[in-house]
Amino acid sequence: MKTRIAVGSVLVGVAVTLLTGLVSNTPPRWVGATLYGYPLPWLTRMIVAPEYYPWRTDTGNFIVDIIIWTLAIGALLLILTRIKK
């Protein structure tokens, strides 16, 4: 049972992190780029002078987002399984 919760929370955490790549997280008055990802922006689209490829990723923020969402989903799944019992 605990293995299923762990695997499920990791898979859903990765999926939620990828889905938050569609959510703009640009601070007000930010000029030159649009940031995506939540709670930490891990995907950046350069607007001003986007040389060759305007998309940039921040691997550290991406991994931290996966960890945050995995822990949140894991806690939620544990609470839900405790309530069901």
Looking at beta carbons, which pairs linking 47-51 to residues 24 or more positions away fall under 8 Å?
none
pLDDT tens by residue, 3-25: 888 999 999 999 999 999 999 98
d(CA 20, CA 13): 11
| Residue labelled with tokens 């609470």 | 79
Task: State mean pLDDT over 68-81.
Answer: 93
Q: Looking at residue 3, what is its pLDDT?
A: 86
pLDDT surpassing 90 at residue 68 = yes
Measured in whole angstroms, the distance separating CA 21 from the mean position of its chain's CA atoms is 7
The answer to whether residue 42 scores a pLDDT higher than 70 is yes
pLDDT above 70: percentage of residues in the chain = 96
Asked if 16 contacts 39 with a C-beta cutoff of 8 angstroms, the reply is no
